[in-house]
Each structure stands twice: as C-alpha cells, then as structure tokens.
Amino acid sequence: MKSWNIPKIREWVAAKMAQAPSWRVIAIDTQWLCPLCGQVGAIFKNEERLTDLIIVHLTEKCSIFKSGQTNAPYTSEALGAKKIYIEIKHAVVNDALFQQRDKGRKWYCPYCMKQTEVSIPEDGKLAPLTIDEIHRHVVSCYGYDHGKGSPKTLVELKQTISEQDRMQETIDHVRNMMASSPVWRVKSHDGHWVCPHCRQVLRSIDVSSNILMCQTAPYPIAEHLIENCAAYKQHSVAAETAGEMEKIVTLDGPKAEPAPRGSVSDELLASLKTELDAVRNQVGKDSDLQKNLEEARKKQLRMLPDLPKIPGYDFEVIYKPCSHVAGDLYDFIKVSENEIGILMGDVSGHGVDAALVMSLARKVFQMQAKGRSSPWDTLVTSNMEIHPDLDGKTFITTAYGVLNTKTKMLNFARAGHNPLIIFNEKRDPQILLSEPKGMAVGMDKGPRFAAGLEEVDVQLQSGDMMLWYTDGVSETRGKGDAEFGIEGILEVVKKYAKLDAKVLLHMCELARTEFQVGDQDDDVTIIAIRVE
C-alpha cells in the first residue's frame, strides 16, 4: 500500500481550493465535485471537515490522483454542468415542486410551467432515463435560463396543471360529443362552428372540412366553452336536436336553406326564450361587474405610490385611466440610500386585462429594482420574470431611470417607451430628448431584449425639468384625426417648464384635453420632476 505525505497533500489541496475555481464546485451545498475524476468526491455537513474528506477521496478513491496525475482535466464549467445534473436529480427525487404531473402523467416544469414530453410512471418512481429527460428539458428551458431563472411556487404550478387538466377534459368531451352527436357538428353556411350551448356562430372556429373539425377545432372549442361561453359555464342545456341548430344557421346566413315552417315557431320561440334568459342573466351580471370594476378602480387608486419628498427635487404626477382600471403604471422605488428608481410603464391594451398585467409587472419591477443601480440590469431581469406570464401579444413599454439624488446623475433606459424630455432654459439646446434603444418588455424572453437594450447616463443640473409620459398623451386624437404628438407636448414644455412641476402638468393636461376630440381612449400618465 502506497504511503502518502498527508501534510504535503493538505497544503496542496488548500492552495488549489484557494486558487482554482474548478476545485470549489459544490452541488446542493453538500457535495464536493472532484476536478480530477469528475465524481462526487466528498459529501460533507461541516465545511471545516471538507479538506479532510477531500484528502480521503484523493488518496483512497480517485484513480486519477492515485495514478500520479495532478492537473485537473475537469474545468469549472464542466463540473458546473455536473452540479446542475446532481441538483436537478436531487430536486426531482426530494422536492414536491419537481414531481408534479397532469392527469395524463406528463411532467410539468416548475420553471416554464409548461407540460413536457416526459412521462412519469404510474407509481411515481423515476428511472434514470426519466431523470435524464427531465434534466435535458430543464437545461434548455427558457424559464431556467442557465440557472439564472427561479422556479415558480408549488401552488402556482398546481393551479396551472389543474387548468390544463380541465382544458384536456373539455377537449376530450368535445371530441366525444362531436363523434356521437350531430348537434355538435353543425356548421354555418360559411363553415364555422355553431356552439350548441350559447347557440352562437363562432367565426374564429373553422370546421369547413372534416380534418379541421376532428383535429384542429376541439382545442378552440374547448377554449370557447371554458373562457367565453356563459351558457356552458352556467350549465345551460345544450341544444338537443340538429334541427334546432339548423335554425340558428338559417338566421345567421343567407346561403342556408330556409327551415320548413311546421314546427319552427315553437322551437324558435323556445330558443329565443333561452337566449333572452341568458341576456337577462348577463345584464344582472354586468351590473355586478360594474360594481366590481368600481371597487377595482378604487383599490388601484389607493395603491398608487406617494410622491417622493426629496430635498432639492419636486415630483408631480397626473394619472387618468380611460376605463375603470388602468394599464399604465408608475412607481418610485427606493433603490439604495441615495438612489431612487423612477418607473413608468404602459401595458398594451387597457381595462381589466391590462390592469392585471400592470399589477404583476409593478411588483416584479419593485423586487428587481432593489439594490440595482443599473436600469439595464433591472429591466433585463424583470423582462425575464414577466415574459413567461404574458400571452405573446401583450407587452409593456417601459421607461426606467435610477436617480442619484446626491450627484444628480440619472441612469436611464427605455424599453419601447416614449423618449424622456428634459428641459432647461439654461441648457443649449434647451430641450434634450433621451432616446436610448430597447424593445418593449415582454416581447422577447431575454437574449434579444438584453442585446438591444441601451442605458445612458444623464447629468442633471439645477433648473432641469424632466417629463415622462405614456402614449395616451402623445396619441390623443384631435380634429381631422391629428395626433397631439410629442410636438404638442413640447409646445407646452417650452412655455411652462420653467415654472414648477404642478403647473407644467396642469398646463399639459389642459392642452391635451383641449386638443382631444371625443372621449379619452387610452390611459394618461405624466410625471414631471424638477431639479431645484
């Protein structure tokens, strides 16, 4: 048996641990990976004992070390990949969050919250091959994002799976009904599906051919039933005869043959009664909805941030939702002792949907902004958090700046938002438009967003007036469909920006509303900040 110079090895290991990153790769906080053989070399609870355990590994188990080789063939990157595998395997075996599957036994990823192709056995026991499949998904998963992403919570994942299960059950139900009942196969004269519950012709669901009807249509039909069909949700009785459905088709289109007279009137009357009942119920619901929207509006207004009170600065804001609830957002976030984050965002669309996204986004921005002086960092990380929760057609134009209130330096980035206007009559030129490039938040999952986002530094000075605004201001429509535009805003700025922030906002809103023809059709938010 070989005799080892243990003190010398200890010294050598200590030096390696201090200098080489590949000697410091530790998985699940307890497993040291050996850079010579690439295996788990030591499992430790107390880090003080780690060096002892490494020496035991090297002198007793590591074939590479025992053969006399001391140059580590495994780089820290290579061991990093192993570490990820070990950690995913550990999570899959020990963490309920990584063990969720739907009724079809398909595994759900806690990072992207999507159903995967990985099938989990009935008994839940995972074979090495299944773990490999899960590992393959996770390392390429955009939600995991090379270890930078965070998993969602167990509650959120279970909720997603439950919704997916419900959707799948409804699709199966639709397929069964289509196979067994002619009522479910009725189409309008131009080939669109007619819902037997709400008796509506659904123009977005094409069933003009058998292939479309059997293969493509069940998914949008299930979507309609779950999300939009009030009659289905209220468990109203579906039409029972194809004849009843044919009458709807007759009413809908010119090409359908007129229904025979005979029994039409009774059935039509019954159908109309059902429809009227549904309308009446809906009116009652609309009234409830109005009350709920009013409540939501009050809550949203209560949640608006207070204006910062910082010596040397004057903050003012105008916030006017166009419907009950708004998709515009603004916030003032304490980044550090001397830094304040100024955030403005505009969710595409407006009303309840936009307001929900707005609330989510505001919370994410608040969390990501803490301690980050760089708007680029905050916007990139926020975008990664927000993107998976959007529907692919919703985005948030965002302007975000971090103002150091001591040095008056503003770091500013713009993700698809309007330019920041800075006016000072002592500057030459008096108006500065800050327009760094960047795509709107939510358009891209990360790489394109990060690559295209620019950050600029603006040294503010005494007398500067900053104006931040959303599209609702610049896209206000006037006579002959003219837009108020940035030109309209700048006109007001030139006249009133030398006054205080409150006056400027008042004059800006006055000019905008005087320009406007018809109702306000978008949320309006303007922030003015004066540097004293």
Partner 1 sequence: MNLALNERENIFTVDVSGRIEFNDVDSFEAYLKALTARGITRIILDMSQVESVVSGSLGTLMKLADDLEAHGGRLVVLNPNVKVLSVFRRMGLDEVFRICDVEEEARRVVLS
Q: Which two tokens stand for residue 425?
A: 């009559």
| DSSP conformation class of 503 | H
Taking the C-alpha atoms of residue 114 and residue 142, their distance in angstroms, rounded to an integer, is: 11
- Nearest-angstrom CA–CA distance, 239 and 267: 11
For the chain, the residue count is 532
Taking the complex as a whole, how short is the minimal distance between the CB of residue 418 and partner 1, in angstroms?
A: 7
Q: How far is the CB of 350 from partner 1 (least distance, A)?
A: 7
**Smallest gap, in angstroms, from Cβ of residue 212 to partner 1?**
8
Handedness of CA 482, 487, 493, 495 (dihedral sign): negative
Smallest distance, Å, CB 112 to partner 1? 15
Q: How far is the CB of 452 from partner 1 (least distance, A)?
A: 6
Q: How many CB atoms are closer than 10 A to CB 348?
A: 19
How far is it, in rounded angstroms, from Cα 85 to Cα 131? 9
CB count within 10 Å of CB 407 equals: 11
Give the DSSP H or E segment for 507.
Answer: helix 501-515
Q: What is the C-alpha to C-alpha distance for residues 413 and 40, in angstroms, rounded to an integer? A: 44
47: Cβ–Cβ under 8 A, 6 or more apart, which residues? none
We find the least distance from the C-beta atom of residue 285 to partner 1, in angstroms, to be 21
- 196 or 327, CB closer to partner 1? 327
Shortest reach from residue 434's CB to partner 1, in Å: 13
Minimum CB distance to partner 1 smaller for 229 or for 347: 347
Do 341 and 400 contact (CB within 8 A), yes or no?
yes
How far is it, in rounded angstroms, from Cα 519 to Cα 49? 73
What minimum distance in Å lies between the beta carbon of 190 and partner 1? 11
| Cβ-based nearer residue to partner 1, 116 or 348 | 348
The residue type found at 142 is Y
Q: Which is nearer to partner 1, 418 or 424 (CB)?
A: 418
Q: Min. distance of Cβ 348 from partner 1 in angstroms?
A: 4
The two three-digit tokens of residue 521, written as one number: 């059709």
- Distance, in Å, from the CA atom of 198 to the CA atom of 307, rounded to the nearest integer, reads 49
- CA 305 to chain CA centroid, Å, is 22
SS3 of 38-94: the string is CCEEEECCCHHHHHHHHHHHHHHHCHHHHCCCCCCCCCHHHHHHHHHHHHHHHHHHH
Nearer to partner 1, 396 or 466 (CB): 396
Q: How many CA atoms lie within 13 A of 444 on its CB side?
A: 15
Name the residues that contact partner 1, by CB under 8 A: 203-204, 206, 212, 216, 327, 346-350, 391-395, 397, 415-418, 437-440, 443-444, 448-449, 452, 471, 475, 481, 483, 521-522
Largest Cα–Cα distance of the chain, in whole Å? 107
CA 296 to chain centre: 21
Q: Do 340 and 333 touch, CB atoms closer than 8 A?
A: yes
Closest CA to 111 of 444, 389, 440: 389
State the Cα–Cα distance between residues 243 and 263, nearest whole angstrom: 10
The nearer residue to partner 1, 41 or 327, going by C-beta atoms, is 327
**CB of 444 vs partner 1, minimal distance in Å:** 8
* Nearest to 233, CA basis, from 285, 194, 276, 190: 285
- Cβ-based nearer residue to partner 1, 216 or 366: 216
The CB-of-243 to partner 1 minimum distance in angstroms stands at 29
Q: Decide whether 107 or 395 has the Cβ nearer to partner 1.
A: 395
Q: How far is the CB of 83 from partner 1 (least distance, A)?
A: 32
Distance CA 12, CA 6 (A): 10
Task: Transcribe 448-488 into DSSP letters.
Answer: HHHHH--EEEEE--TT-EEEEE-HHHHT-B-GGG-B-HHHH
* Pick 487 or 514: Cβ nearer partner 1: 487
